[in-house]
Structure 1
Amino acid sequence: MAQKKAGEVEAFLNRPDFAFSVVLFYGPDTGLVAERSAKLAKAFGVDPIDPFSAVTLAADDIEKDIGRLYDEANTLSLLGGKRLVRVRGAGAGRALSDAIGELAAMRLAETLIVVEAGDLKKSAGLRTNVERGRHAMALPCYQDEGRALDLMIDEELSAAGLSMDKEAREALKARLGADRIASRGEVKKLCLYALGTASVTEEDVAAIVGDVSADALDEAIDAAAAGEVKRLPHLIDRLTTAGTATFQLHQALLRYFQQLQALRNSVEKHGEPVARAVERRRPHFRRKPALEAALTAWPLAAIDRRVQAIEADILASRKDSGLALTITHKTLMDTAVEAARLRARGRR
């Protein structure tokens, strides 16, 4: 079975074996999946934006026209040489899984197929077919922890000619999130800020590095619960483009409404004023207005229905990871629309 453990992936990418014609990257950290896919493509020696040698396909489009994948896999580069085929957004699609299984059994001369997928269970068809394929390799990509995160920080510090003491490093790691691309962007920004000095300090970290793992996510959840329908799509796109996993959005929304449920119960059943209930929760001052607006607008019965709807959407997204992004987007927008409707009713 051709697969690597999570801790072995970087070593494989440093010395890739292109005897494997199909390589699958999968995991909950979509930013890490994309970064490692790009690293392998670069090592293969094909310019990913060269239309004569490389093509990028969306998994959803392939499901509708699976012949396109076979055509691209067997097409020779117009100018000769190697050919790169990248497939993004793969999940539970049956047609793609079966096609990859067939291609994984072939030795595609001068062609590399790189598939990017979300978090796949061990029994997922796509993962199973790649792991069993004679000419395929499956590479798991999990959230940055421990040595992996330190290695990424060291790479950026070395490139900038900077050093960092232990206290500053720990402060930096505490602010980095679960997405590799967003985290690397924050470290690059920090290095640029400290350029011209010998070492990055804890004060530098506090001054320039945002909390990747929380700030943007909190902003999107607050917007959904408060009914900011026009603003929410931009916030969702910003998070998903940066690689935030859909399950993080779903879980954060569910936790928020479970907390709202407890607070609203105190308001409706025990007569506690909204302001006092919010104060007792002690939210960050930037989140306080949004929480007060949500607690005022949402009656307990509506909160109960929304919690049930969110739980159902989470289950649906886990059953079909290929549709996880679409389902999550719909969950947030449905929440915002309902919040806006409730607020409008309250103003009458």
Structure 2
Amino acid sequence: MAQKKAGEVEAFLSRPDFSFPVILLYGPDPGLVAERSAKIAEMSGVDRDDPFAAVTLAADELEKDIGRLYDEARTVSMFGGHRLIRVRGAGAGKALAEAVGDLAASRLEGALVVVEAGDLKKSAALRNNVERGRFAMALPCYQDEGRAIDRMIDEELGQSGLSIDREARDELRARLGANRLASRGEVRKLCLYALGAPSVTEADVRAIVGDVSADTLDETIDAAASGEVKRLPHLIDRLVSAGTATFQLHQNLLRYFQQLQTMREMVERGGEAIGRVVERRRPHFRRKAALEAALAAWPLEEITAILQRIERDILMSRKEGGLALTITQKTLLDIAVEAARLRARGGRA
């Protein structure tokens, strides 16, 4: 079986073995998967700016036309040399899993296929087909933790000729998100800010590295529940960049509407004023107005329907891992549109 353990992947990436022309990278951190895929692409020697030598394909599009992957993988380069085919957003697609299995069974001549996937279970067809393939390699990519975070910090600081004391390092690690690319970007920004100084201080970290994920998560849910449709795309993009997992968004959204349901019962069945119910919850002052707007807009029957919708979408996103982000985005936007409609109608205070 051609696969590496998580701790062996960095060693493989330092000297990739291209006798395995089909390489699968998978894991819960899309930034880490993308970064490692880019490294393999760079070390392949293929000119990634040459459209005749390098091509990037979307997994969901290949599910509709899987013949495209076979064509690209078996096409001889017009000007000689190797070709690079990168497939992004792979998940539970059956057509792609079968095609990758076929390509992995025999040696590809002059082509390298690199597949980027989400977090695949051991039973996932794509992962199984690669692991069993004679000419394929599976590389698990897990989130930055412990030594991996410190190694990345040291790499970036070393390139800038900077050092960092223990307190500043602890503060920096606490502020980095789960997405490898986003985390590296934050550290590079910090290095640029501290350039010329002998070392990075805790004050530098607090001044330049923002812990956006938690605050943005609350903002996103508040915007959806209160009907701020125009703000949502930007907020979702910020969460994705920070590496926030889709299941975290869905779970927090579910919890929010469960609490909203309890509060609305106090209004409709207990006859309490909206302001008093909200005050009893003691929300952060920045969230108070949005919570009041949501509580005023959503009647109990609509909240019940939304809770059922969220639960269905959570189940669907787990079954279709490659579409999890799309499903979550649609959930949030649909809720925001409905909230805006209810507010325009005047709600039922």
What is the TM-score of this pair, normalised by structure 2?
A: 0.93
- C-alpha displacement of 1:297: 2.0
Distance (Å, rounded) in 1 between the aligned partners of 2:95 and 2:58: 13
- C-alpha displacement of 1:264: 3.3
Aligned partner of residue 231 in structure 1, secondary structure: helix
Return 5+ residue gaps in structure 1 as ranges.
none
Deviations 1:175-219 (A, max 9, x none): 111111111111111111111111111111111111143233332
Distance (Å, rounded) in 2 between the aligned partners of 1:175 and 1:113: 35
Which residue pairs with 1:296 in the alignment?
A: 296
Aligned partner of residue 286 in structure 2, secondary structure: coil
Amino acid at match of 2:54: A
Which residue pairs with 1:27 in the alignment?
A: 27
Which residue pairs with 2:104 in the alignment?
A: 104
- C-alpha displacement of 1:298: 2.1
Which residue pairs with 1:314 in the alignment?
A: 314
Aligned partner of residue 24 in structure 1, secondary structure: strand
Query: Which range is displaced more, 40-49 or 157-166?
Result: 40-49
Q: Number of matched residues?
A: 348
Aligned partner of residue 286 in structure 1, secondary structure: helix
Query: Which range is displaced more, 246-255 or 189-198?
Result: 246-255
Query: Which range is displaced more, 93-102 or 318-327?
Result: 318-327
Query: Which range is displaced more, 328-337 or 213-222?
Result: 213-222
Alignment of 1:164-183 (within 5 A): 164-183=164-183
Deviations 1:225-254 (A, max 9, x none): 111112223333444466543223222322
Distance (Å, rounded) in 2 between the aligned partners of 1:278 and 1:146: 40
Which residue pairs with 1:252 in the alignment?
A: 252
- C-alpha displacement of 1:267: 4.2
Which residue pairs with 2:327 in the alignment?
A: 327
Aligned partner of residue 229 in structure 2, secondary structure: coil
Distance (Å, rounded) in 2 between the aligned partners of 1:347 and 1:256: 18
Which residue pairs with 1:184 in the alignment?
A: 184
Tell whether the 8 Å contact from 1:176 to 1:213 is kept in structure 2 after alignment. no
Identity of aligned residues (%): 76
Tell whether the 8 Å contact from 1:16 to 1:40 is kept in structure 2 after alignment. yes
Query: Which range is displaced more, 211-220 or 334-343?
Result: 211-220
Amino acid at match of 2:27: G
- C-alpha displacement of 1:47: 2.8
Tell whether the 8 Å contact from 1:30 to 1:245 is kept in structure 2 after alignment. no
Deviations 1:110-130 (A, max 9, x none): 321000111111111111101
Q: 1:262 to 1:205 in 2, by over 3 A?
A: farther
Return 5+ residue gaps in structure 2 as ranges.
none
Q: 1:212 to 1:78 in 2, by over 3 A?
A: farther
Distance (Å, rounded) in 1 between the aligned partners of 2:18 and 2:134: 13
Structure 2 residue 65 is matched with structure 1 residue 93? no
Amino acid at match of 2:147: R
Amino acid at match of 1:37: S
Aligned partner of residue 306 in structure 2, secondary structure: helix
Which residue pairs with 1:69 in the alignment?
A: 69
Distance (Å, rounded) in 2 between the aligned partners of 1:285 and 1:189: 31
Alignment of 1:193-232 (within 5 A): 193-232=193-232
- C-alpha displacement of 1:83: 1.2
Deviations 1:128-177 (A, max 9, x none): 10111111111112221111111111111111111111111111111111
Tell whether the 8 Å contact from 1:24 to 1:115 is kept in structure 2 after alignment. yes
Distance (Å, rounded) in 2 between the aligned partners of 1:9 and 1:175: 25
Aligned partner of residue 87 in structure 2, secondary structure: strand
Tell whether the 8 Å contact from 1:178 to 1:213 is kept in structure 2 after alignment. no
Query: Which range is displaced more, 20-29 or 216-225?
Result: 216-225
Alignment of 1:114-153 (within 5 A): 114-153=114-153
- C-alpha displacement of 1:258: 2.7
Q: 1:140 to 1:190 in 2, by over 3 A?
A: same
- C-alpha displacement of 1:337: 1.3
Distance (Å, rounded) in 2 between the aligned partners of 1:276 and 1:10: 56
What is the TM-score of this pair, normalised by structure 1?
A: 0.93
- Root-mean-square deviation over aligned CA pairs: 2.0
Alignment of 1:150-169 (within 5 A): 150-169=150-169
Q: 1:283 to 1:157 in 2, by over 3 A?
A: farther
Deviations 1:282-305 (A, max 9, x none): 443333322222223223332232
